[in-house]
Amino acid sequence: MYLRRNMLGLAGAALVLPMAGLAFASSKRSASGWALDASGAANSNLQALIDEAARNDMPLYLPAGTYEASNLVLPDNARIFGVSGASRILHRGSVNSAKGARRIELSGIVIEGSGGMSGEVNSGLLQLTGIANVQIDNCEIRQSGKHGLRLERCGGRIERSRISGAAQAGIFAVDSTGIAITGNTVADCGNGGILVHRWEKGEDGTAITGNRVRRIRANDGGTGQNGNGINVFRAGGVMVADNQIADCAFSAVRANSGDNVQITGNQCLRSGETAIYAEFDFQGAVLSGNLVDGAANGISIANFNEGGRLATIIGNIVRNLRRDGPYEPEVGFGIGIAAEADTTISGNVVEDAPLFAMQLGWGPYLRNLVVTGNVLRKAPVGCAVSVAQGSGTAVITDNVFQEITEGAVLGFEWEKKVSGDLTQAGSEQYPHLTIERNRSS
């Protein structure tokens, strides 16, 4: 363990009282109450200060300055607070939680990586495991050689913090026990923004709300496993709400195999692939009140062949899509909203979709779609609906189509167009479809 601190000074006088058992520092009364104060600890061991404070059930206060350390371990009951943006731990390796720790609190601390990360891909600059009550508030975690903050089997809150410059993901939470990730800024990370995963599919209950996620790359490539602003994988009962997400290499929000996920009220700008995805083995997804502006595709409910089904897509705005994307797609980019099974699509507005405003089913993977009360503008095709052998029911009623150049509703067998505009004539050929009371102009 190596520690060096450059004192920046403290304004104002402090009351210093002797306290038994505090071998490394004095206790000072501050606005936050009694705390072990690291003032004058330039030649002391930061790990010893952390341990001493935790044993005495006291917070540890780090005055403004730079502290160099390596491989710190946070014991149970560790509470460290500092001067926001000025109390900086320049750390080599990972800051880990001690085995058996149940409560850890950090506030106003900067943790900055200085190399020395382990070879484990999933390690984090700050790595906490099995902590029932994590409280991280108004901290900064930056320049990690792997993940910024990695949590496993943790509950609590991560809030008002700033995570940037991680080589992998900014926040990576695995097998969480009802954690809240709220009001944070995550930016300039190599492969992901906020990831909520589970090793096996199950209930998770994480709430991801009110965060700003920016400039997320996909340095390790792939077709969607990297480059997402918010990524939910196998985690059920997750809420993704009221986040502002921009400039992600793939999706703003990507939910893969997570049941009962709610994706509501998010602003998704300039996504490299599909802005909002619910895919693979999921049941139950609510997508409502989201705004998508700029993406290769807008919103997709996909993979009925893998069990993906049961969703509502209500009250979203999707606009300004494009045909180019990060790989060669099966159908093509430029689709506003796509869905396959047991889904209601209602009250949405799609504008400027260069391929289809909506894609309804794919080959035989179409069942129980209700498409009603939507406004679809400025697209070659309004609704591309599957009429392939084995495709199921779709109800397409009371929608408004404007500036649709090839047809409001066209039948497709896989990628091949096989009908004219079914709002005008020919829908009786396809008894699985109900197409009524739509208006085109």
- CA distance linking residue 101 with residue 232, whole number of Å: 26
- pLDDT averaged per 10 residues, the chain (length 441): 32 26 38 65 75 96 94 96 96 92 97 80 90 98 96 98 98 97 98 98 98 98 97 98 98 98 98 98 98 98 97 98 94 96 98 98 98 98 98 98 98 98 97 98 96
Q: What is the pLDDT of residue 118?
A: 64
- CA distance linking residue 256 with residue 389, whole number of Å: 28
Q: What is the pLDDT of residue 54?
A: 96
3-state secondary structure of 171: strand
- CA distance linking residue 367 with residue 358, whole number of Å: 15
Residue of 263, 269, 262, 265 whose CA lies nearest to 242: 265
Domains annotated for the chain, with CATH where assigned, are 64-440 (2.160.20)
CA 285 from centroid of its chain's CA atoms: 16
DSSP 8-state code for residue 394: E
The torsion angles phi and psi of 428, rounded to 5 degrees, stand at: -65, -15
Residue of 363, 362, 367 whose CA lies nearest to 344: 367
The set of residues, in sequence order, having a beta carbon less than 8 Å from that of 317 and lying 6+ positions away, is 290, 291, 292, 293, 348, 349, 351
Q: What is the pLDDT of residue 4?
A: 33
The set of residues, in sequence order, having a beta carbon less than 8 Å from that of 43 and lying 6+ positions away, is 3
Q: What is the pLDDT of residue 330?
A: 83
Q: What is the pLDDT of residue 38?
A: 77
Name the region of 331 (left: φ>0; alpha: ψ -120 to 50; beta: rest): alpha
Q: Pairing mode, if any, of strands 140-142 and 283-288?
A: unpaired
Question: What amino acid is encoded at 40 in this protein?
Answer: G
In 31-155, beta strands by DSSP E: 33-37, 60-62, 65-70, 73-74, 78-82, 87-92, 95-97, 103-107, 109-113, 124-129, 133-137, 140-142, 147-152
